[in-house]
Amino acid sequence: MADTLTLGEFIIAQQQFSREATGDLTQILGAITLASKIVHREINKAGLIDIAGSSGLENIQGEDQQKLDVYANEKFKTALAARGRVCGVASEEEDGFVAFPSMEGSSSKYVVAFDPVDGSSNIDVNVPVGTIFSILKRTSDDAGPVQLEDFLQKGTEQVAAGYIIYGSSTMLVYTTGQGVNGFTFDSSIGNYFLSHENMTYPDTGSMYSINEGHSNKFDLGLQYYLISCKEKHEELGKPYTARYIGSLVSDFHRNLIKGGIYIYPGYSGTPNGKLRMLYECSPLAMIAEQAGGMATDGRGNRILDIKPTTLHQRSPLYIGPKFMVDDAESYLK
């Protein structure tokens, strides 16, 4: 363990590669790390404390908010507000963005968009869940309060993006545009340690992840692609393997490490799919591209080039190794 970098040490070491480094990003990532440790603790006590199940509330999308959603949302907001480096946040669990009051002498140049607990409805059956976050530099005047426009930026403008997966171990994976690195949490010490350096997609992929329960509503091209996944592939000598957990972070994380494509398409009745651009598609797309992969909306549009017009805008998502996404899109054309 002595030769292993902690997350904090790694972030500080990376500052030397940026002339504009002020320490703000270090503070923001520190706040996210702290909140993730608190959420990790509660998740690991699920079944022993009353953290699973519905809160009885609904979010703006009309979805049941789980108790864990509400809890985690507050912890991330509190941690980010306390550092004085973020002027506001947008969360999947909030109707609108949340503006933080300015603090004297603070440097609030950034906003954070996040999904506090992706897949929270699965916690009562011990399925891995996760947190997804995106960090953006505000575009409005620093002297005034945060504005809606500060959040509605293309994914190419992200300063950093990442996710935390709460599974058999808790891992934080993030990028600042200089590659992707993963850190595993050691709860006995209370620190994250570098465990997956320079993460990239494998040269070959063997898995596809999609909820085929809706396949009768899919476009014909996508249905043909799924048929092709079940056929013998020349490179593999066998069909692709279907793997779908139903927790976006978990499916994405597995595919990043083992090689696979994740698809949440638009389909009859839900033309733009379910996933949110700001909290899910855009941050994961940044990670995918930094890992040598690709992310599109299945309509020929790069996810990172799409400028959202609303906080809770949805988008189809095709994400994974470039050759797999290209192959899937070829059927959609």
Domain encompassing residue 73 = 7-196
pLDDT at 9 over 80: yes
For residues 35 and 170, the answer to whether their CB atoms sit within 8 Å is no
Residue 202 is predicted with a pLDDT of 96
Percentage of residues in the chain having pLDDT higher than 90: 73
Same domain, 31 and 173: yes
Q: Which long-range contacts (CB under 8 A, 24 or more apart) does 73-77 make?
A: 73/116, 75/35, 75/38, 75/39, 75/116, 76/31, 76/32, 76/35, 76/39, 76/114, 76/116, 76/131
Average pLDDT of 182-211? 95
What is the per-residue pLDDT for 253? 98
User: How far is residue 126's CA from residue 166's CA, in Å, rounded to a whole number?
Assistant: 10
Answer whether residue 218 shows pLDDT above 60.
Answer: yes
Domain boundary among 138, 172, 196: 196
User: How confident is the model over 229-242, as a mean pLDDT?
Assistant: 90
In angstroms, the CA 100 to CA 302 distance is 32
Averaged pLDDT, 258-263 = 97
Q: What is the pLDDT of residue 1?
A: 44
Kindly state whether residues 189 and 216 are assigned to the same domain: no
Count: domains in the chain:
2
Using alpha carbons, list the distances in angstroms from residue 146 to 29, 70, 160, 209: 20, 23, 19, 37
Q: Which of 152, 177, 196 is the last residue of a domain?
A: 196
Question: What local confidence, expressed as pLDDT, does residue 3 receive?
Answer: 59
Assess whether pLDDT exceeds 90 at residue 193. yes
Place of tokens 């340690």: 193
Query: What residue ranges in 59-125 does DSSP mark as E strands?
Result: 64-66, 86-91, 98-99, 110-118
SS (H, E, C) 190-247: CEEEEEECCCCCCCCCCEEECCHHHHHHCCHHHHHHHHHHCCCCCCCCCCCEECCCCC
Length of the chain equals 333
For residue range 125-177, what is the model confidence (pLDDT) as tens digits? 778 899 999 999 999 988 788 999 999 999 999 999 999 999 889 999 999 99
Lowest mean pLDDT among 58-62, 139-143, 233-237, 325-329: 58-62
pLDDT exceeds 50 at position 53 = no
Residues 256 and 187 in one domain: no
| 62 and 137 together in one domain | yes
Taking a C-beta distance cutoff of 8 angstroms, is the pair 293, 303 a contact?
A: no
**91 close to 77: Cβ distance less than 8 angstroms:** yes
CATH number at residue 287: 3.40.190.80
Question: What are the two backbone dihedrals, phi and then psi, of residue 34, each rounded to the nearest 5 degrees?
Answer: -60, -50
Q: Are residues 92 and 137 in the same domain?
A: yes
- Residue 262: what pLDDT? 98
Residue 48 has pLDDT above 50, yes or no: no
- Check pLDDT > 70 for residue 18: no
**170-175 and 260-264 beta bridge pairing:** unpaired
pLDDT, tens digit (0-9, with 9 covering 90-100), for 80-90: 999 889 999 99
Does a structural domain hold residue 202?
no
State residue 105's pLDDT score. 43
Q: Are residues 255 and 213 in the same domain?
A: yes
Calculate what percentage of the chain has a pLDDT beyond 70: 88
Mark which of 170, 196, 222 sits at the end of a domain.
196
Let me know whether 87 and 106 are in one domain. Answer: yes
Based on the fold, state whether residues 141 and 214 are members of the same structural domain: no
Tokens 């480094």 sit at which residue? 21
For the ranges 20-24, 238-242, 277-281, the lowest mean pLDDT is seen at 20-24
Average pLDDT, the chain: 89
Query: Do 168 and 243 share a domain, yes or no?
Result: no
Both 175 and 270 in one domain: the answer is no
Average pLDDT on 279-284 reads 97
